[in-house]
Amino acid sequence: MVFGTLGLVLGLFIWGRWRYDIVALLALLIVTVTGIVSGGAAFAGFGHPAIITVAAVLVVSRGLQNAGLVDRIAAWMTRVGDCPTLQVAALAGLVTVCSAFMNNVGALGLLMPVALRMAYKSGNSPALLLMPLAFGSLLGGMTTLIGTPPNVIIATFRVEAGESPFRMFDFAPVGVGVALTGLVFIALLGWRLIPRRQGPAAPQELFQIAEYLTEVRVPQDSQLVGKSLRDLELTAEADVNIVGLVRGQRRLLVPSSFEIMWPGDILIVEADPEALKTLVDTVGLELVASQDLGEEALGSEDVSVLEAVIMPNSVMEGRTVIDLNLRWRYGVNLLAVARQGARLRERLKNVRFRVGDVVLLQGRTATLPEVLPILGCLPLAERGVRLGQPRRIALSTGIFGGALALSATGVLPVQIAFVGAAAAMVLAGMLSLREAYESVDWPILVLLGAMIPVGQALESTGGAQLIADQILELGRQLPAGLTLAVVLVGAMFLSDLVNNAAAAVLMAPIAIGVAQGLGASPDPFLMAVAIGASCAFLTPIGHQSNTLVLGPGGYRFGDYWRMGLPLEILITIVAIPLLLWFWP
């Protein structure tokens, strides 16, 4: 029954129709209803130390971001120059260091705008910088306990093997060696393997909105007089977007859906020629004498237009602009959508958003920065770099350093140290309570809380040992190092298909079983799982960092393995000797 459940879960993870937290809850319900896991233990995973640690680290990471430390360092990136090798080395190196101590998606999000500005300024394709940046964020997570959730999970599984949990820098001897090797490969050779497609060099070339802007007038005898813009949008049978309204000397951008139309009003609409003709014919508007409307018609001192990418777990994912009611609920206009480097030409109201889609939004300058986090979007090249005050940087760094020291020396368990750091960040004003709750990746916590009992069921029913016996039988005539490589490659393969935290939960009990079968220490095998779970380099679905750069980089699904496959082979070659040396 356990194997059937795991087969179903893996199939649903790969299918991707249901989000991973829903799939994990389904697996938990199956093993509970069938009696494999008792009702009293079903939700014990949500009180697991790994859950608390991951949540606390995410809050602390947000506090470090708000302090502006990374932004201050990133501001120096403009001095690197136009050489792609130097740009890749600088960006990937910085994100690797940051990801060792903060959420890797958060570190990537901070540096993506920097990478895009560097690419546009130097005339290089963003594709050459964004994939190395994403891969660097994964490499950094290998080096510390808090670098990535799989490391926290592996540390707790060591307790089940009868040992004390791994400490903060126990992952460093192997992780740093692997990360440095990966960085050298990416900077010198890896970026050259990324396909170079001809694409837009900057947002203004990707979204040529000016070509679709037109002015139409509301006639004196129009049926629209006295009706709202929302009525017009519902009545029109064309895909048009009302981005502005001119009434006498007054020019109103991002008008409310409930703005009433008067005779003589001039509407600034975004529409292609076919949709514009349909609009004019169906509702009786008049075309204003042709004039060149530049993109400045979309913005003013109070209104801005910016490009953003849809983040994992965004409220926009899987929904349409009509479902979201962007104009009425959030006060923003959707002007265009790009996917994999190309602007979508289908009707905007029919587009279902995906993670990694690049959207062009128009909204009020004062409120747009607040709306983007609510929508789950990351601003790209137009975002200004926030420079933190020295006092805030020093305070946040001190709080974080204190938590590191207390957990690294064993004075406090890691979950206690970082919960204390998270509370101190809030009390010190590094982030608000709302930001603290928003910074927690709740789907990941649900995934972990549900999968931990499932992983324990795999072990308690003997399923993990059965798989371990098959691996032992396969490697009976092989040296222990090659058996270790089988475990490492298995974790790599699994992490390319499913969430890396789920891969760690499933592979850890198998690794312990293999070690027990060999009469060896479980440490190198658990460390091999930790390394493998962070090596989701072959597909855009293996890790959120890979998904996040898919749209802005203009990548296709098959582009990732071109650099990812040789990187995984190299990591395997380097990691096995390091594991055997430091964890004999």
- 122 plus 242 within the same structural domain: no
Q: How confident is the model at residue 569 (pLDDT cuts 50, 70, 90)?
A: very high
Residue 387: the pLDDT is 44
Q: Is the dihedral of CA 218, 220, 224, 230 positive or negative?
A: positive
Residue 197: the pLDDT is 57
| Lowest mean per-residue pLDDT among 9-13, 213-217, 267-271 | 9-13
- 366 plus 303 within the same structural domain: yes
In a domain, 486, yes or no: yes
| Lowest mean per-residue pLDDT among 445-449, 452-456, 529-533 | 452-456
Report the distance separating Cα 314 and Cα 316, nearest Å: 5
- Determine the average pLDDT of the residues in 139-148: 91
Last residue of a domain, one of 346, 365, 380: 380
In a domain, 506, yes or no: yes
Residue 199: the pLDDT is 45
Task: Of 196, 195, 197, 189, give the one whose Cα is nearest residue 566.
Answer: 189
- 320 plus 338 within the same structural domain: yes
Sequence-ordered list of residues with C-beta below 8 angstroms from that of 234, at least 6 positions apart, any chain? none
Report the distance separating Cα 76 and Cα 118, nearest Å: 11
- 164 plus 224 within the same structural domain: no
Q: Residue 224 above 70 pLDDT?
A: yes
Q: How confident is the model at residue 69 (pLDDT cuts 50, 70, 90)?
A: low
The answer to whether the CB of 416 falls within 8 A of the CB of 340 is no
Q: How confident is the model at residue 268 (pLDDT cuts 50, 70, 90)?
A: confident
Residue 200: the pLDDT is 47
- Could you give the count of Cα atoms lying within 13 Å of 31 in the half-sphere of its Cβ? 32
Residue 44: the pLDDT is 85
Q: Residue 386 above 60 pLDDT?
A: no
In a domain, 388, yes or no: no
- 220 plus 171 within the same structural domain: no
Boundaries of domain holding 463 = 2-42+69-199+441-582
- 142 plus 260 within the same structural domain: no
Q: Residue 411 above 60 pLDDT?
A: yes
Q: Which residue has the higher pLDDT, 273 or 445?
A: 445
Classify 345 as helix, strand or coil: coil
Residue 299: the pLDDT is 56
Last residue of a domain, one of 380, 410, 430: 380
In a domain, 220, yes or no: yes
Q: Residue 532 above 90 pLDDT?
A: yes
Task: Of 205, 210, 143, 207, give the one whose Cα is nearest residue 178.
Answer: 143
Residue 382: the pLDDT is 44
Residue 201: the pLDDT is 46
Write the DSSP symbol of residue 360. Answer: E
Report the distance separating Cα 26 and Cα 39, nearest Å: 14
Residue 207: the pLDDT is 60
Task: Give percent of the chain above pLDDT 90.
Answer: 18
In a domain, 349, yes or no: yes
- 73 plus 170 within the same structural domain: yes
Write the DSSP symbol of residue 228. Answer: B
The answer to whether the CB of 421 falls within 8 A of the CB of 400 is yes
Q: Rounded mean pLDDT of the chain? A: 82
Report the distance separating Cα 9 and Cα 325, nearest Å: 34
Q: How confident is the model at residue 206 (pLDDT cuts 50, 70, 90)?
A: low
| Lowest mean per-residue pLDDT among 43-57, 205-219, 283-297 | 283-297
Q: Residue 476 above 70 pLDDT?
A: no
- 113 plus 243 within the same structural domain: no
Residue 88: the pLDDT is 92
Q: Residue 414 above 80 pLDDT?
A: yes
The set of long-range contacts for 560-564, using a CB threshold of 8 Å and a minimum separation of 24, is 560/131, 561/537, 562/193, 562/194, 562/195, 563/131, 563/132, 563/135, 563/186, 563/190, 563/191, 563/193, 563/194, 563/537, 564/135, 564/537, 564/538, 564/539
In a domain, 403, yes or no: no
In a domain, 425, yes or no: no
- 16 plus 115 within the same structural domain: yes
Beta bridge partners of 268: 215, 244
Q: Residue 573 above 90 pLDDT?
A: yes
Residue 499: the pLDDT is 79
Residue 390: the pLDDT is 67
Q: Residue 300 above 80 pLDDT?
A: no
The answer to whether the CB of 387 falls within 8 A of the CB of 361 is no
- Determine the average pLDDT of the residues in 13-30: 81
- 215 plus 300 within the same structural domain: yes
- 222 plus 251 within the same structural domain: yes
- The number of folded domains in the chain is 2
User: Which of 49-63, 279-293, 540-554 is predicted most confidently?
Assistant: 49-63
Q: What is the CATH number of the domain that holds 356?
A: 3.30.70.1450
């791994």: which residue's tokens? Answer: 166
- 269 plus 326 within the same structural domain: yes
In a domain, 52, yes or no: no
